[in-house]
Amino acid sequence: MGRRRQIDRAAILDAALALADTDGLDAVTMQAVGQRLQVTPMALYRHMDGKQALLDGLVERLLSGFPLPAAGLPWDERLTGLAEAMRATARQHPAVFPLLLTRPAVTPGARVVREAVLGALAEAGLDEGAAARAERLMSTTVLGFAASEAAGRFRRHPKAAIDEDFAVLLGWLRLMVTGA
């Protein structure tokens, strides 16, 4: 009798992300991930409660796939760094990235980025309610831009123009925070 293949949550999420990158988000099922890992789909349930948990894990993977900007940087540089990291993540995982527009960050690992944004906004002088609103608006704006770019919406424009547009967008977001 052969030894059972060892899997864990990280291996499951790696397989799901790779599957989504190659075959699209609709291809991510417990069955398909199990096949990719060469285990039965039931083996995944020891580590995931089902497809919804798998999708939550993919959100976490997207949001934790890059280092957070250093805490010692000024608030606006931290926010810019996070926005640029999100844009890079969208380019790296264009088929999976739209998941960030449809699912909230519910796992502790996924909420780290939101907490970093809220911390930077508090440092900028926003109270808790204003910071929460600014985070929602900023994340929706940055995610929408990044998803649009990754999906090819701006393909008719030169890369330099898109980079300039993103810089202007970040400037608008800074103005939103400072009120200047």
Report which DSSP code applies to 158. -
Q: Can you tell me the mean pLDDT for 118-143?
A: 96
**Cα–Cα distance for residue pair 166/141, rounded to 1 Å:** 10
**31 and 119 assigned to the same domain:** no
User: Where residue 35 sits, what CATH number does that domain have?
Assistant: 1.10.10
Nearest CA to 143 out of 51, 59, 76, 54 is that of: 59
Is residue 2 situated within a structural domain? no
The domain total for the chain is 2
Confidence tier at 6 by pLDDT (50, 70, 90): confident
Q: Can you tell me the mean pLDDT for 45-69?
A: 95
**77 and 148 assigned to the same domain:** yes
Report which DSSP code applies to 25. G
**20 and 73 assigned to the same domain:** no
Tell me: pLDDT of 21 over 70: yes
Q: CB–CB of 99/21 below 8 Å?
A: no
Confidence tier at 57 by pLDDT (50, 70, 90): very high
**76 and 22 assigned to the same domain:** no
**85 and 28 assigned to the same domain:** no
Determine the structural domain holding residue 20 and report its residue range. 9-48
Nearest CA to 152 out of 99, 97, 102, 106 is that of: 97
Report which DSSP code applies to 107. S
**Cα–Cα distance for residue pair 9/24, rounded to 1 Å:** 20
| Tokens coding 158 | 């030169």
**Cα–Cα distance for residue pair 144/165, rounded to 1 Å:** 13
Condensed to tens digits (0 to 9), the pLDDT of residues 90-116 reads 999 999 999 999 999 999 999 999 999
Tell me: pLDDT of 40 over 60: yes
In one-letter notation, the amino acid at residue 33 is V
**24 and 97 assigned to the same domain:** no
Helix 30-37 × helix 9-23 angle, to 10°: 110
* Reported pTM: 0.90
**29 and 97 assigned to the same domain:** no
| pLDDT for residue 1 | 46
Nearest CA to 177 out of 115, 111, 133 is that of: 133
Q: CB–CB of 142/87 below 8 Å?
A: yes
Nearest CA to 114 out of 100, 96, 94, 93 is that of: 100
Confidence tier at 118 by pLDDT (50, 70, 90): very high
Is residue 107 situated within a structural domain? yes
| Tokens coding 61 | 């993977």
| Residue-averaged pLDDT of the chain | 94
Query: How many alpha carbons lie under 13 Å from residue 146 in its C-beta half-sphere?
Result: 28
